[in-house]
Amino acid sequence: MALSLILGLIGLLPSLIWLTFFLFEDRHEPEPKLLLLSAFLLGGSMTFIAFFLQLFTQKVHLALGLGSNSVYLILTFALLEELLKFLVVFLLFYPIKAFDEPIDAMIYLISVSLGFAAVENIVYILKTGASQVGLETIVLRFMGATLLHALSSGIIGYAWGKTLAEKNKSWISLPEGLILGTIVHFFFNVAILRFGFTSYILLFLICVAFFVLLDFERLKTPINLIK
């Protein structure tokens, strides 16, 4: 029991570190902590919904004669996860009063995505077992899957925030952001399955992170939303 708790905390650590980083970037106009905690926990709960949806999708793909690791299945998995994370924020947080700036789209989506990644990490580490969990595993989860979730949702959050900042309230950027975030997620998953976690994948994530942080800075100007 104690060992499982320790492993669970290890799985939670990467998400907490990245969440602290992004919230520090938004320290001048912070969101209510209770809402951020709710977003994090709801993101974690979406992991289980995603699992059952992906299980059903996999059965459909296999019934159609497609492989269990086909690019179509990997793409569908990535799209399902990004849609679920977006819907949590759009349905539960966007309508509330505290969601009052374009940057909030990124903040809440990243919070949800890190909760999602936290549950994935905990399950992964518990399945791996204590004997195989070392510093390398933690680093790979920290710089790999956890960061990937934050970045892909951050891309979608920026596109959404951009539409909210525009006076004409054009939503054309949102589907573009959803497509781009899904493609980044898909590319990462395919690369991991084919090659493992290589220096090229790390470089790819660093490049994406650079642009996401630039997007974060662009949306930090406090512009009130008119709903």
Rg of the chain over Cα atoms, rounded to whole angstroms, equals 17
The DSSP letter of residue 31 is P
**Residue 80 domain-assigned?**
yes
**Residue 36 domain-assigned?**
yes
- Averaged pLDDT, 94-100: 91
pLDDT of residue 56 exceeding 70, the answer is: yes
Is the model more confident about 46 or about 133?
46
Is the model more confident about 33 or about 227?
33
pLDDT of residue 3 exceeding 60, the answer is: no
pLDDT score of 152: 96
**Residue 195 domain-assigned?**
yes
- The confidence band for 79, taking pLDDT boundaries of 50, 70 and 90, is very high
**Residue 64 domain-assigned?**
yes
- The confidence band for 194, taking pLDDT boundaries of 50, 70 and 90, is confident
- Averaged pLDDT, 208-213: 91
pLDDT score of 155: 96
**Residue 226 domain-assigned?**
no
For the chain, how many residues are written?
Answer: 227
DSSP states along 123-190: HHHHHH-GGG--HHHHHHHIIIIIHHHHHHHHHHHHHHHHHHHSTT---THHHHHHHHHHHHHHHHHH
pLDDT score of 8: 55
**Residue 69 domain-assigned?**
yes
**Residue 227 domain-assigned?**
no
The DSSP letter of residue 44 is H
pLDDT of residue 186 exceeding 50, the answer is: yes
Domain count of the chain? 1
**Residue 225 domain-assigned?**
no
**Containing domain of residue 7, as a range?**
2-219
pLDDT score of 138: 61
pLDDT score of 226: 47
